[in-house]
Amino acid sequence: MVYQSDAGGTRYRFANLKTLLAKATPLRSGDCLAGVAALDATERVAAQMCLADLPLKQFLQELVVPYEDDEVSRLIIDSHDPAAFLSIAHMTVGDFRNWLLSDEATASRLSAIASGLTPEMVAAVAKIMRSQDLILVSQKIEVVSRFRSTLGLRGRLATRLQPNHPTDDPAGIAASLLDGLLYGNGDAVIGINPATDNIHAVMGLMQLLDDVIQRYDIPTQACVLTHVSTHLEAINYGAPVDLVFQSIAGTQAANRSFGISLAMLDEAHAAALSLQRGLLGHNVMYFETGQGSALSANAHHGVDQQTCEVRAYAVARRYQPLLVNTVVGFIGPEYLYDGKQIIRAGLEDHFCGKLLGLPMGCDICYTNHAEADQDDMDSLLTLLGVAGVNFIMGVPGADDIMLNYQSTSFHDALYLRKVLNKSPSPEFAVWLEKMGIADARGTLQVANTLPPSLQHLTPRL
């Protein structure tokens, strides 16, 4: 296939599909670092025009990473559902954008085509969409997942309560955990990033979270975000594991750099299911992703970082996860330079994941060496709220003292629920009311002192 287009009196040619995709990507530092970005703004739009004319079918013919070399490519092709693809099989990428924005593309029709889409098709259409397009289409899609709470329902916004501590100190974690619950956070998951992979420390944290969830009968789930192999080990020791966590990427080589393969994920998924700990549903996996991870591991095969990211969602959807979290600004300015690039990437990731049928959340975040600040986070937070993001992070005061980056705070979640009239997950909303933390309308009731349901903790303060 010849990839070429005319723009501004110049004919632009693109060597192959992955080059075309890379050149069509809105500017970001990671693609410049990889040497795959468009050379100038005109070449970028020329690539977008060429991409818009490309038949979706071409993505089934030409793979950006060869089938023989990469198990993620094999997964993408082998799991493609031709029946689901049929209704859009005649479209170009440009037609597909038009259709997505049209009133014909209802929630049920979008959900019906999900298994007929490959990550590359979805990445491609995202590249020719503006922010408002990404938001509009995302908002139509409802992806619901369940374990002990129901997540992703329209009009709801959940949070991961993230009570991290630099030495995994149980008292420090408990203090942040209590604060988060009192601020109405924690319905997506209570998830700790442990400071160490030490199996005994990890199992201690699993027990701590499980004890709190059982003691107060909280309709949520726990997760200690350690390596999948450590989860397996913990399960073998009999530790209480609700969700199995793993960071995943869009190429086999990048996953290898994380020390994982599809076979390992299959094993962990089966082990988590065997525990039967979900009350409402059996979505037992929690995945994190982020643009730039494949390049960071030098495992991108010349593919742009946004396309690599969407390929990671093909890995995720194999396991019907409860949560998929794009940790958008964590990787640093080498990959997403500033607030503008982080905001665009967050909207893309959320859109692409939702279109592929994933329960997308976003860690709206930045590091201290990026050109970003709280104003940028407020923008992305508000935009993703409008787009219907399933969950965001709840970190005390937005400052993660273990991972050393800034995410969204308990207060940020309250802000978003208020301005967009959203509530926590239904089961958690009932629990908050029962505990006297919020009223029936979701308004926070806790003032200076602990609510009556937690008065027994007052002597320990």
Partner 1 sequence: MSTNKDLDEKHIAKKGDKPVISNNWQSLQRFTDARIALGRVANSLPTNAHLAFQLDHARARDAVHVPLDSVALQAQLLEQGLTVLPLHSQAVNRQMYLQRPDLGRQLAPESASQLKRWRAQHGCNKVSIVIADGLSANAVQNQAASLLALLSSGLSTLGLSYGPCAIVQQGRVAVADEVAELLGSRLLVMFIGERPGLSSPQSLGIYFTRAPRVGMSDESRNCISNIHARGLSCQHAIERLIWLIQMSEKLKISGVHLKDKSGEAQPLLNVTPEQKPRFQLT
- The verdict on 262 binding partner 1 (CB under 8 A) reads no
**Residues 446 and 201: beta-carbon distance below 8 Å:** no
- The verdict on 200 binding partner 1 (CB under 8 A) reads yes
Among 50, 137, 157, 174, binds partner 1 (CB under 8 A): 174
- The verdict on 212 binding partner 1 (CB under 8 A) reads yes
Instruction: Compute how many residues bind partner 1; rule: CB under 8 A.
Output: 80
User: How many other β-carbons are positioned within 10 Å of the β-carbon of residue 64?
Assistant: 29
> Shortest approach of partner 1 to residue 410 CB, angstroms?
8
> Shortest approach of partner 1 to residue 147 CB, angstroms?
21
Q: Provide long-range contacts, Cβ within 8 A and 24+ apart, for 166-174.
A: 166/195, 166/401, 166/402, 167/195, 168/192, 168/194, 168/195, 168/196, 168/201, 168/204, 168/205, 170/204, 170/205, 170/208, 173/205, 173/208, 174/208, 174/212
- Of 117 and 372, CB closest to partner 1: 372
Classify burial at 450, counting beta carbons within 10 Å of its beta carbon; exposed 0-12, middle 13-18, buried 19 or more: middle
Dist. CA 341–CA 126, nearest whole Å: 14
**Judged by CB under 8 A, which stretch of 159-167, 275-283, 305-313, 357-365 contacts partner 1?**
159-167
Q: Spell out the residues 6+ positions from residue 163 whose beta carbon is closer than 8 angstroms to its own.
A: 173, 174, 175, 176, 177, 180, 190, 192, 396
Restricted to residues 397-436, the positions that interact with partner 1 (CB under 8 A) are 397-406, 409, 411, 414-415, 417-418
- Of 11 and 200, CB closest to partner 1: 200
- The verdict on 179 binding partner 1 (CB under 8 A) reads yes
Restricted to residues 334-393, the positions that interact with partner 1 (CB under 8 A) are 334, 337, 367-369, 373-374
Instruction: Report DSSP letters for 392-442, one per residue.
Output: EEEBGGGEETTTTEE--BHHHHHHHHHHTT-B--HHHHHHHHHTTSB-TT-
- Encoded amino acid at 71, one letter: E
Check residue 236 and report its DSSP letter. H
- The verdict on 27 binding partner 1 (CB under 8 A) reads no
- Of 280 and 450, CB closest to partner 1: 450
> Shortest approach of partner 1 to residue 27 CB, angstroms?
14
**Judged by CB under 8 A, which stretch of 43-51, 66-74, 102-110, 198-206 contacts partner 1?**
198-206
Check residue 9 and report its DSSP letter. T
- Of 58 and 229, CB closest to partner 1: 229
Restricted to residues 289-318, the positions that interact with partner 1 (CB under 8 A) are 296-299
Restricted to residues 222-261, the positions that interact with partner 1 (CB under 8 A) are 227, 229-230, 233, 256-259
Half-sphere exposure of 18 (CA within 13 A, CB side): 18
288: β partners: 247, 325
- Longest CA pairwise span in the chain (Å): 77
Name the residue with tokens 């709190």.
212
**Judged by CB under 8 A, which stretch of 75-83, 92-100, 118-126, 332-340 contacts partner 1?**
332-340
- The verdict on 191 binding partner 1 (CB under 8 A) reads no
> Shortest approach of partner 1 to residue 107 CB, angstroms?
30
- Of 16 and 455, CB closest to partner 1: 455
**Judged by CB under 8 A, which stretch of 4-12, 81-89, 126-134, 169-177 contacts partner 1?**
169-177
